[in-house]
Amino acid sequence: QKEVEQDPGPLSVPEGAIVSLNCTYSNSAFQYFMWYRQYSRKGPELLMYTYSSGNKEDGRFTAQVDKSSKYISLFIRDSQPSDSATYLCAMYYSGGSNYKLTFGKGTLLTVNP
């Protein structure tokens, strides 16, 4: 079992739709959770960063963490064509030299105008 599993997609939605992206993880030591957006042939861009269970909102984006279920989600409201990209979840546990991001495989999202 991989440490981080992510819905593979690809996902295609119409403009304005609500998008739900999900990851599960197996290592209960993970404490910090991130969502990155990666456009084609570019480096990942940090979108959201969460630590505790619950929801965190930033504009059209909401990150949700459920540590009891080892499940994280990213919701995108009013999706736009410019949101078309690959979304990667990532996580790590704290402790000096233990900063090592573990990534999901990524979900390719296409928002159609």
Give, in order, the Cα–Cα distances in Å from 15 to each of 12, 18, 19, 80, 97: 10, 9, 10, 5, 42
For 89, residues 6+ apart whose C-beta sits below 8 A from its C-beta are: 4, 6, 21, 23, 33, 34, 35, 36, 72, 74, 103, 104
The residue (of 3 and 17) whose beta carbon lies closer to other proteins is 3
Site for other proteins contains 109 (CB under 8 A): no
Among 65, 74, 76, 88, binds other proteins (CB under 8 A): 88
Beta strands in 8-106 (DSSP E): 11-14, 19-25, 32-38, 45-50, 54-58, 61-66, 71-76, 85-92, 102-103
Least distance from C-beta 64 to other proteins, angstroms? 19
CB of 42 to other proteins, least distance (A): 6
Binding residue for other proteins, selected from 14, 59, 68, 100, defined by CB under 8 A: 100
Provide, rounded to whole angstroms, the least separation between the CB of residue 23 and other proteins: 11
Binding mask 25-64 for other proteins (x = CB under 8 A): ---------x-x----xxxxxx--x---------------
In the list 22, 62, 105, 110, the residue contacting other proteins (rule: CB under 8 A) is: 105
